[in-house]
Chains A and B, each alone.
Chain A
Amino acid sequence: MLKKTLFSLVLAAALAVGTTAAAETKAAFVYVGPIGDHGYSYQHDQGRLALEKELGIKTSYVESVPEGADAERVIRQLASSGHNIIFTTSFGFMNPTLKVAKQFKDIKFEHATGYKRADNVSTYSARFYEGRTILGTIAGKMTKSNVVGYIASFPIPEVIRGIDAFTLALRKVNPAATVKVVWVNSWFDPGKEGDAAKALIDQGVDIITQHTDSPAPLQVAESRGVYAFGQASDMKAFAPKAQLTSIIDNWNNYYIDRVKAVMDGTWTSTDTWHGLKQGMVEMAPYGDAVPADVRQLADGVKQAIIDGTLHPFQGPIKNQKGELVVKAGEVISDADLLGLNWYVEGVEGSIPK
């Protein structure tokens, strides 16, 4: 009896210690856009909320931080105000993150979509392009005009990877289809994104996909009666008829795992690039317009990517000039994908220089 009481006392004490340690861990997030963008920054913030709920810890965030001189101050302010782990969620925060990390060796930093690491700086990103392969498959089956519109943000490798993966999948099921790209030079600008969608539709595009963060293109697609794909989150609420599916960035598990690692003292600097398989990239439920056979085909592509039997950048791959760049049976390596800067055959126009 006494033994049992003692045991439960010890257990209670251990639990109490456990919770205080948990309560002391604070995580912070730096977003490039407003959390109300319903896209990229919104999804990171969903991850933050999941983290709060799962681990019961305190978090802070700063939204709409410009990728320039201001980022370093914000990150440093978070580092010096009692946060143990700081997630900087945009590429442009890379050098500021490293500069601050150098001065705060005890704090862990996690930089999304970058390539520079340090003992206390990890990088992480999602293989969004795997989702683009599914979008391309659906678009190839559903386009009538055989011209698909792509609204792009900045000509960085991540965005070009998306365009190429989409186009390869599109032409695999529909060799006659091509892709028109419009660059809006912004991650979040509903006005410009909407205008780009209108311009594309006026040029005969009947499906729109985007690598920008606002739901504006979907709203335009909805009102003009064409199809579109959501970006970063399920945007069905903005375009109930037009949205065929959406790539969803799911950071929840990653954030929970990394913060847990800080709490356990097992955190080490790593480079994470997860995709459909690990659930960092998810697909939204299909829209009503997607017919059963297309759903089946898309599901099959998704499963094949998860199983590893299909690689989105599997040869033969030709460049815009029609030259064979990747032979049949070969794939583009991760290292080359990281710096990808050329269009595959089927993309119209050239990459802005």
Chain B
Amino acid sequence: MWPHLVRRRLPSKAMVYLSPVLALVLSMLAGIILFLIMGVSPLGALHAFFIEPLSSVYGLAELGVKATPLVLIGVALALGFKAGVWNIGAEGQLTMGAICGGVVALYFYDREGFYIIPLMLGAGVFGGVAWAAIVAFLRVRFNANEILTSLMLSYVAGLLLNMLMHGPLKDPDGFNFPESRQFSDSALLPLLQEGTRLHIGAIIALAAVALGWLILSRTLLGYQIKVAGSAPAACEHAGFSHAKIIWTTLLLGGGMAGLAGTIEVAGPIGQLLPNISPGYGFTAIIVAYVGRLHPLGVLFAGLLLALTYLGGETAQIQLNLPVAVTGVFQGLLLFFLLASDVLILYRLQFGMAAPAVETS
């Protein structure tokens, strides 16, 4: 008497909104079991994870700081994924952006001026775009799989950063430790709220969400992206250039990732380090999918993921829970979010011998 999955004739409108709620309820239940096994109060743990980080201005600001790169990159990746362009190497594009923006900051380290930050942001976009352009060129010209090339270029970018940190960009007064000088005040992003770390990058991320939504829903490019993803043959038939879509989505993704990289170094970090990002480029892939490739969804997904990181730290501090439990809980949450989406296209049928697929 196991329930079967039966394909719906039409995607369920109700489930589109109900599935995240279902996922949340399921992960709460799983979390309660997990925390009981660990011997901590489930209520206390859930409070530490979801309420405590949001209960102060500083916590809310940190949520914004943490979500900014995830949302920036997630929105751009969502556009690419919608078009069937699999840019897995946003991490590398972020790194190149951070390097280019950082080099500008270090070049002007002893100068002041309003022009430094725009220059840095521009350089960051350029770095990410240039890195993604290699991927786009290889894909369009040689049909090289962009999953592999973009991923491998991430490692190249990481090693390049390492090399620069141990060599030319090393702080001359830093006892040979691989860190750059700290940026001058003119190279640091303005804060939105004094006493917190919330910087202007958060506004840029919100603008990116709006821009992504505008592109997808209001422009020909958005339409082409959707067609290219769902019906590539129709795309060619309609006279849309597939190459153009690949170039556009990859460069857009690279540019946003590069921008995010510069924003990280000019925002919360304030210098170049050998490891700038704790995997934002990869986490943004999850963010894009949890947000169902919709810009607004990406915004919420980015905030949710950021919250689980903050909550994980609070759970460690308050309850002495090991970091591995945070990882397991995050995994459960993402699993239920993605799994519940099955119910948009499928429904559960209890009973015997149902046909696996209804003919439509």
> Which residues 64-83 of B sit at the A interface, judged by CB distance below 8 A?
65-66
Whether the Cβ atoms of B313 and A92 lie closer than 8 Å is no
Does A77 contact B314, Cβ atoms closer than 8 Å? yes
Contact (A95, B271) CB under 8 Å given A60-B317, A62-B317, A353-B166: yes
Contact between chains at A63 and B177 (CB < 8 Å): no
Q: Are B166 and A155 in contact (CB under 8 A)?
A: yes
Given contacts A34-B323, A67-B273, A68-B273, contact A81 B317 (CB under 8 A): yes
Residue of A nearest to B159 (CB): A185
B313 interface neighbour in A62, A338, A341, Cβ under 8 Å: A62
Apart from the given pairs A62-B323, A66-B275, 8 other A-B contacts in the complex at a CB distance below 8 Å:
A35-B322, A69-B267, A73-B65, A76-B58, A77-B313, A81-B318, A115-B177, A157-B175
Q: Are A66 and B178 in contact (CB under 8 A)?
A: no
Q: Is the CB of A352 within 8 A of B166?
A: yes
Interface range, B side: 35 or more
- Asked whether A70 is an interface residue with its Cβ less than 8 Å from the other chain, the reply is yes
CB pair A156–B177 under 8 Å, yes or no, is yes
A35-B322, A185-B162 as given contacts; A74 in contact with B269, CB under 8 Å: no
Residues of the B chain whose Cβ atoms lie less than 8 Å from the Cβ of A28:
317
Contact A61 B320 (CB under 8 A): yes
What is the bound-complex CA distance between A67 and B162, given in angstroms? 14
B264 at the interface (CB under 8 A from A): yes
Contact A92 B316 (CB under 8 A): no
Given contact pairs A67-B275, A157-B175, A95 touches B317 in the complex (Cβ within 8 A): no
Instruction: Encode A118-156 as 1/0 by CB contact (under 8 A) with B.
Output: 000000000000000000000000000000000000111
Q: Are the CB atoms of B178 and A155 closer together than 8 Å?
A: yes
Q: In the complex the two chains form, is A64's CB within 8 Å of B323's CB?
A: yes
A63 touches which of B58, B269, B275, B323 (Cβ 8 Å)? B323
How long is the Cα–Cα vector from A352 to B170 in the complex, in angstroms?
A: 13
Whether B167 is near chain A, meaning CB under 8 Å from some CB there, is: yes
Pairwise interchain contact B268-A338, C-beta atoms closer than 8 A? no
The answer to whether the Cβ of B277 comes within 8 Å of any Cβ in the partner chain is yes
Query: How many Å from the CB of B259 to the closest CB on chain A?
Result: 16
Contact of B175 among A70, A77, A115 (CB under 8 A): A115
Nearest B residue (CB) for A98:
B182
CB of A62 within 8 A of CB of B316, answer yes
CA distance A141 to B62 in the complex (A): 55
Q: Output the least CB separation between B155 and chain A (Å).
A: 10
Q: Which residues of A contact B355 (CB under 8 A)?
A: none
User: Bound complex: CA of A351 vs CA of B310, how far in Å?
Assistant: 38
Is the Cβ of B268 less than 8 Å from the Cβ of A72? yes
Give the residues in chain B near A66, CB-CB below 8 Å: 275, 278
Of the candidates B62, B178, B270, the one whose C-beta lies within 8 Å of that of A95 is: B270
A78 within 8 Å of B by Cβ?
yes
Q: Determine if B176 is an interface residue (Cβ-Cβ < 8 Å).
A: yes
